[in-house]
């Protein structure tokens, strides 16, 4: 399949929020309960077709950079943001601090990239919300976080979606949301009124 567009995405967020599991699920791989932490960055490519609401279909090639969340990799992450078209910022709904820490990630990205990017904020691990023993981030709290902080991050649209890398719930939708917005930005995709 020959790509009409090549998009570079960076997946960011604290360690153990499920960034690698989201990427793996999007690539069609099985969920792994345990895996080693990403060291520096991990890279993957995926080709897909996307149909816009106006009926036009585009062949897309994604270059997906899964960036390590541990602080010790702060110094090397900056180079991976260069040339990015979009950011998928992930937090764990069962660890509210990981949502608050997205502000640190946004600041890091702004320091490294001198342009506005499209952001998808992903509340991951919704399959664990049933746990009565943990403080969780509700859907309303996630949406409110985006509403309060979107303009601090970018002048472009910022979207919120909740996922489960374990079950696959909304994983495709998160990447499709990003794709459609990237195509809209280029005038290649529009809604029919």
pLDDT tens for 89-127 read: 999 999 999 999 999 999 989 988 878 899 999 999 999
29 falls in which pLDDT band (50, 70, 90)?
Answer: confident
Q: What is the largest CA-CA distance in the chain?
A: 49
CB count within 10 Å of CB 33 equals 6
For 130-169, give one letter per residue: b (16+ CB within 10 A) or e. eeeeeebbeeeebeebbeebbeebbeeebbbbbbbbbebb
Residue 193 maps to a domain: no
Give the range of the structural domain holding residue 104, as residue numbers without chain letter.
5-185
Domain of 36, CATH number, reads: 3.40.50.300
The arithmetic mean of pLDDT across residues 175-183, rounded, is 94
Q: Is residue 116 part of a domain?
A: yes
CA dist 99 and 93 (Å) reads 8
Position with higher pLDDT, 48 vs 192: 48
Do the beta carbons of residue 50 and residue 180 sit within 8 Å? yes
What is this structure's pTM? 0.89
Neighbouring residues of 103: CB distance < 8 A, sequence distance ≥ 6:
149, 152
Strands 5-12 and 86-92: parallel
Question: 93 lies in a domain?
Answer: yes
C-alpha 114/C-alpha 127 separation (Å) is 36
Is 31 within the bounds of a domain? yes
The tokens describing 159, both together, are 């979207």
Which of 31, 6, 7, 9 has the alpha carbon at shortest distance from 20? 31
Question: How many structural domains does the chain have?
Answer: 1
What CA–CA distance (Å, rounded) separates 182 from 159? Answer: 12
Position 191 in a domain: no
């Amino acid at each position: 399949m020959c790509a009409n567009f090549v998009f570079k995405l960076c997946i960011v967020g604290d360690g153990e929020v499920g960034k690698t599991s989201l990427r793996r699920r999007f690539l069609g791989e099985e969920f792994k309960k345990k895996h080693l932490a990403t060291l520096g960055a991990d890279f993957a490519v995926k080709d897909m077709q996307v149909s816009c609401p106006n009926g036009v279909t585009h062949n897309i090639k994604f270059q997906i950079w899964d960036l390590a969340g541990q602080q010790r990799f702060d110094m090397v992450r900056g180079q991976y943001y260069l040339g990015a078209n979009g950011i998928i910022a992930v937090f764990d709904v069962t660890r509210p601090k990981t949502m608050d820490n997205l502000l640190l990630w946004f600041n890091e990205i702004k320091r490294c990239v001198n342009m506005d990017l499209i952001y998808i904020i992903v509340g991951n691990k919704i399959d664990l919300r049933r746990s009565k023993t943990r403080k969780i981030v509700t859907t309303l709290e996630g949406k409110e976080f985006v509403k309060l902080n979107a303009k601090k991050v970018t002048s472009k649209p910022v979207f919120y979606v909740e996922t489960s890398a374990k079950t696959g719930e909304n994983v495709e939708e998160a990447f499709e949301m990003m794709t459609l917005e990237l195509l809209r930005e280029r005038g290649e995709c529009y809604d029919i009124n």
